[in-house]
């Protein structure tokens, strides 16, 4: 366990300490569990707020420490669909009482995961259920990235197998989860932590690791985290690897891919031409090769551009970024939509410069 990342090693296990949600919500969950009436749950909130941590704490409250005995499986299912076979490969974490998976990892095949794989698991009850609730829990992450077809299939699964299965859905953006799915769950909003809460967390982890953490460095790490607890802990661990003992003026590391996206933004602002668009396309492919999700690329590129343009252009950047993000999720290759966003920005930015300076 000592070799684990701090973000996993120091993950809270108890329901009262697992998240930044208020004590009233935690008390309400405990009452539901004590009555044996735990419904389907829908955890939503920003990245790094503690949604998955809260879900795992609820599991421990229901089933006890047995949910921590997990194994990683990488399974392949062969599904018969209209006289043709569909092969689906999916990684999952499972114990005797629950299973955690991300169906959106299968891309356009996510509906097959919902229609067949999840149904197969929902039919079975816990293997070791002596004195414990007689249902199994499926934890589904990034539900907001599922296709509409997969969400419709998931709604049907929730209704049909509610006696033997409970679903814990986790999503960042509830607006992308259909209302019919949300209405069948108890919604739990997990707000992003404040800067002060992240600083306290960093000092607690440093104390457990027997490290001396200067308050100035803790403040700068918390501010650079964007109210993301996971990122704050990873950044602090990176600072520990780069230099220890800590120094109050020590530099806070920024990821290479973020620096690379900022560089792309600078190149776009420096020149708006077909040749520069072709060059940017090659750089976007390099980000894809390094497994950076296209939605993250689009969001960070839009932020990098907005830092250096006038106010009237910022509104248009937000509009077109949202426009192409929706189109990206509807299908097609992500590079097409990212390149279209860059081309659109080049056109409107060049028009703005011509209007401003003649």
Q: Is the model more confident about 52 or about 120?
A: 52
- For 269-324, what is each residue's pLDDT tens digit? 999 999 999 999 999 999 998 888 888 999 999 999 998 888 888 999 999 999 99
pLDDT tens-digit series, residues 1-28: 445 677 777 777 666 555 555 566 777 7
pLDDT band at 347, cuts 50/70/90? very high
| CA–CA separation, 298 and 261 (whole Å) | 9
> Which of the residue ranges 109-113, 132-136, 309-313, 354-358 has the most confident prediction, judged by mean pLDDT?
309-313
- CA-closest candidate to residue 221, choices 251, 257, 260, 256: 251
- Tell me which fold the domain 6-189 belongs to: Rossmann fold (3.40.50)
In whole angstroms, give the CA distance from residue 320 to residue 58: 40
Q: Fold for 256-357, please state it.
A: Zinc Finger, Delta Prime; domain 3 (1.20.272)
- In Å, how far are 10, 83, 230, 231, 233 from 51, measured between CA atoms? 15, 40, 11, 14, 16
Band of residue 153 on the pLDDT scale cut at 50, 70, 90:
confident
Strands (E), 143-266: 165-171, 186-189
- Beta-ladder partners of 87: 78
């Amino acid at each position: 366990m000592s070799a684990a990342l701090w973000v996993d090693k120091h993950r809270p296990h108890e329901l009262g300490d697992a998240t930044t949600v208020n004590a009233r919500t935690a008390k309400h969950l405990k009452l539901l569990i004590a009555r044996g009436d735990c419904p389907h749950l829908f955890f939503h909130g920003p990245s790094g707020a503690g949604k998955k941590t809260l879900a795992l704490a609820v599991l421990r409250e229901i089933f006890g420490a047995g949910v921590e005995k997990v194994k990683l499986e990488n399974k392949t299912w062969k599904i018969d669909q209209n006289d043709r076979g569909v092969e689906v490969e999916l990684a999952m974490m499972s114990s005797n009482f629950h299973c955690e998976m991300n169906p959106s990892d299968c891309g356009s095949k996510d509906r097959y995961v919902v229609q067949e794989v999840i149904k197969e698991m929902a039919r079975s009850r816990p293997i070791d259920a002596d004195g414990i609730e007689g249902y199994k829990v499926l934890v589904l992450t990034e539900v907001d990235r599922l296709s509409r077809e997969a969400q419709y299939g998931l709604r049907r699964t929730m209704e049909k197998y509610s006696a033997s299965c409970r679903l814990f859905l986790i999503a960042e953006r509830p607006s992308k989860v259909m209302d019919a799915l949300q209405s069948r769950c108890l919604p739990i909003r997990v707000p992003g932590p404040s800067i002060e809460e992240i600083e306290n967390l960093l000092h607690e982890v440093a104390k457990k690791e027997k490290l001396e953490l200067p308050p100035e460095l803790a403040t700068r790490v918390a501010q650079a985290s964007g109210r993301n607890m996971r990122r704050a802990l990873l950044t602090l661990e990176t600072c520990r690897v780069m230099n220890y003992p800590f120094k109050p003026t020590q530099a806070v590391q920024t990821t290479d891919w973020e620096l690379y996206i900022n560089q792309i933004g600078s190149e776009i602002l420096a020149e708006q031409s077909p040749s520069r668009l072709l060059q940017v396309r090659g750089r976007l492919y390099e980000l894809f090769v390094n497994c950076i999700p296209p939605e993250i690329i689009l969001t960070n590129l839009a932020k990098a551009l907005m830092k250096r343009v006038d106010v009237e252009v910022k509104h248009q950047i937000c509009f077109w970024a949202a426009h192409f993000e929706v189109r990206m999720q509807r299908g097609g290759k992500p590079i097409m939509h990212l390149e279209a966003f860059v081309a659109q920005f080049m056109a409107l930015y060049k028009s703005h410069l011509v209007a401003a300076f003649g």
